[in-house]
Amino acid sequence: MNPRFQFTALIFDMDGLMLDTERIARSAWQRAMSDWNATLPDALYLQLIGRDEQGTVAILQEAYGEEFPVRQVRQRKQQYFEEDIVRHGVPMKPGLMELLDLADALSQRKAVASSTETEPALRKLALAGIAGRFDAIVCGDQVQNGKPAPDIFLEAAARLGVAPEQCLVLEDSEPGVRAAHAAGMLAIMVPDLKPPSEDVEALAYRVLPSLHHVRAFLEETVGAARDDLPE
């Protein structure tokens, strides 16, 4: 692949990539599970990252049995999560605003493709003050198949009016990187709680440690003039 690759759109995951919410979600899950006298080991929680509701329910039912009230527990988890972000706000990942500014300076179209359902996703983006920074927002309940299926990224590209091969995906999760690859898109992975497995790392175009590094990488590879970039 030519290091000075061309793309016309950026597609951002949300939780764990732009918003530093995975630790809040983990705590909310653990509180909710304890309400049913159950525990959620970290290793099992990591399997939930990047999954939509259907995928989450399937993983937890396999672990705890068909009779375990997964959807009730998930609703309680969402209650605890909402209480936390209303009280304390939605933390953003370092470097996000600078990266969004760079995308604007480069005239890149931008979309969000999040496994979270529409209502809570829009609420989080609004609380973070970035909902208006995107040309399209696609959520997990708006597509038939969740990540690692490519549906959500293909829908985001369609809404942006951009061919899949002209999209660059930014993801923190393994299901997200697999979905981007299946959609025929390049993916830069910025791992959050879980480092990538060898096979997922091989699928990613780059694995970078932070959004600051993503910004620097894009400045260099796109070859934008320094004077045109935001300070």
**Strands (DSSP E) found in the chain:** 9-12, 109-114, 136-139, 167-171, 186-189, 206-207
For residues 70 and 96, what is the distance between their CA atoms, to the nearest angstrom? 33
- CA–CA distances in Å: residue 62 to residues 55, 66, 67, 74, 127: 11, 7, 10, 15, 34
For residues 143 and 210, what is the distance between their CA atoms, to the nearest angstrom? 29
For residues 42 and 193, what is the distance between their CA atoms, to the nearest angstrom? 10
Q: Give the number of other CB atoms < 10 A from CB of residue 25.
A: 21
Annotated catalytic residue within 13, 52, 172, 192:
13
- Active-site annotation holds for 228: no
Annotated catalytic residue within 15, 52, 151, 172:
15
- Active-site annotation holds for 13: yes
Backbone angles phi, psi at 178, to 5 degrees: -65, -40
> Is residue 196 a contact partner of residue 207, using CB atoms and an 8 Å limit?
yes
Lookup: tokens for 56: 């989450």
Phi and psi based region of residue 107 (left: phi greater than 0; alpha: psi -120 to 50; beta: remaining): left
Q: Catalytic residue numbers? A: 13, 15
